[in-house]
Structure 1
Amino acid sequence: MVTGGGHGIGRASVRRLASEGASVTVADIDLAAAQLVAEEIRKAGGAAVAVGCDVRDRSSVETAVARAVDEFGRLDVLVNTAGGGGRHPEFADTGDEVWEDLIDLNLVGVVRCIRAALPHLRAAPGGGSVVTIGSVNGMATFGGEPYSAAKSGLQILTANLAAKYGPQGVRFNLVAPGTIRTRVWDDQADSLARLARLYPLGRVGEPDDVAAAVAFLASEDAAWITGVVLPVDGGILSVGPARIQS
């Protein structure tokens, strides 16, 4: 099950997992987009079902997880990509409602999804796996304090759950992307070009770059990996936030 599977990193993750033989539940608040992705997978000979899912709503999450299990008989992997940032005032002028909304979407939403999926992941025949999409914003000072604080919270959540549920066969890992070319950058080609020059590898990331890391951490190849944060960042953390902010 991939939350946020209708767009961007989520869509790329669905495609990559399906290409490696997974039966995928495409969960997204944008049901029409999820349906298009699921249809694409089925046309290519894979197995996929689309479900509406708002990670800010516990009932919606629980219904989506139940649908995934009903459709495929079990749930082995949960990929948490649903989230987002958005523009807001400077820190001193950012109200509580912005903090509450962004932390609910990016941190508590992940908690809701894991909590609903956990009984099924614990029962998975080969052990369950949770891969969550964080951000380099949760690892260094790139601004966007509410979003960054939520993403930082995902790291300690992942570490705690890895320690707690590893003995029960469930792995938890986090992928921390840098700048990725998704729809939030539509009509901002100049900004992406400027950012690309700041990355040691000379480009911004593509959704497929992140999807490859997701597929690895979800797979049996990563069977002895849990509790890690894997930056997929083109090297930006190696040169530091001062470079990207200058």
Structure 2
Amino acid sequence: MQRFAGKVALVTAAAQGIGAGVARRIAAEGGSVVVTDLQQDKLDALVAELGDQRALAVRVDVTRRAEVDAAVAAAVERFGRLDVLVNNAGGCIVTSLPEETTVEEWRRQLDLTLIGAAQCVQAALPHLLESRGNVVTISSVNGLAAFGNLEYSAAKAGQVAMTKNFAARYGSSGVRFNVVAPGTIRTPNWDHQPDTLERFAAAYPLGRVGEPEDIAAATAFLASDDAAWITGITLPVEGGILLGPGMLDLTPSGPTGQHAAD
């Protein structure tokens, strides 16, 4: 399939894991990709893999609006347009007990996971209106059910509400907004605790945790014209964990950073 031939996507937190998987999938289907993250060396390696004629790396902290604006401008300058924004930046950065979380910790979590995503939409929107493009935000099952990590879960739930409101506001302009909500995904964040992943796998009806390719496939569908009449939805890609009861506490405990912590 070449569903993204002639199209340009910007993927945040694309140095590894889900973001890198999404960038690879869009490039494999003919698209050009702008990949952003804080890890410049990994971004450069991904661009080398995809080919510098089809990919561009830009170091971006999504909590800094000027850097987000610069990344969008670089995408349009390099490729002439922007058709897809994949909001993947986020992470569980609060480790306190909920009753002990400080206002500063709350702000840091919301700045990264929710406000960062909103800033990316704001920066990309003028170009998406022109191309009648779309946004796919990578949220989490944490935003749909009680899996622990209160502050992270609240930020992820906020992404879902934000997406619905953007979808309602800009649907008449032809711009679509959707969410993919992953369950536990095997990313480098879990490299130091493989036993935890195996324990989590036993809780999933499908008997395994997810892979970045699982999320990339769902994201590519929603970002493509195959989903042209779909907007404002949240697509759980979670191996059945939301079927409950008997759900484990799938508290992310890997390293923090601008990546999906699922």
| TM > 0.5 fold call | yes
- Within 5 Å, give how 1:1-246 maps onto structure 2: 1-42=10-51, 47-86=54-93, 88-124=95-131, 127-240=132-245, 242-245=246-249
AA matched with 1:211: A
Taking the aligned partners of 2:40 and 2:227, their CA distance within structure 1 comes to 31
Taking the aligned partners of 2:247 and 2:153, their CA distance within structure 1 comes to 18
Deviations 1:171-204 (A, max 9, x none): 0000000000112211111110100000000000
AA matched with 1:243: M
AA matched with 1:105: L
> Once the 2 structures are TM-superposed, how far is the Cα of residue 86 of structure 1 from its aligned partner?
3.5
2:184–2:238: 8 Å Cα contact kept in structure 1?
yes
Taking the aligned partners of 2:78 and 2:37, their CA distance within structure 1 comes to 16
- Per the normalisation by structure 1, the TM-score is 0.95
Seq. identity, %: 54
> Once the 2 structures are TM-superposed, how far is the Cα of residue 30 of structure 1 from its aligned partner?
1.4
SS of corresponding position for 1:123: helix
> Once the 2 structures are TM-superposed, how far is the Cα of residue 218 of structure 1 from its aligned partner?
0.4
Query: Number of matched residues?
Result: 241
AA matched with 1:76: D
1:121–1:129: 8 Å Cα contact kept in structure 2?
yes
Taking the aligned partners of 1:235 and 1:98, their CA distance within structure 2 comes to 31
Taking the aligned partners of 2:40 and 2:55, their CA distance within structure 1 comes to 13
> Once the 2 structures are TM-superposed, how far is the Cα of residue 245 of structure 1 from its aligned partner?
3.0
Over the residues paired in the alignment, what is the CA RMSD in angstroms?
Answer: 1.2
> Once the 2 structures are TM-superposed, how far is the Cα of residue 7 of structure 1 from its aligned partner?
1.2
Taking the aligned partners of 1:81 and 1:177, their CA distance within structure 2 comes to 11
SS of corresponding position for 2:177: strand
Question: Which consecutive unaligned segments of at least 5 residues does structure 1 have?
Answer: none
> Once the 2 structures are TM-superposed, how far is the Cα of residue 87 of structure 1 from its aligned partner?
5.1
Taking the aligned partners of 1:109 and 1:245, their CA distance within structure 2 comes to 26
Deviations 1:114-160 (A, max 9, x none): 00000000001xx2110000000000001101100000001110000
> Once the 2 structures are TM-superposed, how far is the Cα of residue 32 of structure 1 from its aligned partner?
1.7
Taking the aligned partners of 1:2 and 1:32, their CA distance within structure 2 comes to 16
1:88–1:98: 8 Å Cα contact kept in structure 2?
no
Q: Which one has a larger percent helix, Structure 1 or Structure 2?
A: 1
Question: Which consecutive unaligned segments of at least 5 residues does structure 2 have?
Answer: 1-9, 251-262
2:94–2:152: 8 Å Cα contact kept in structure 1?
no
SS of corresponding position for 1:176: strand
SS of corresponding position for 1:173: strand
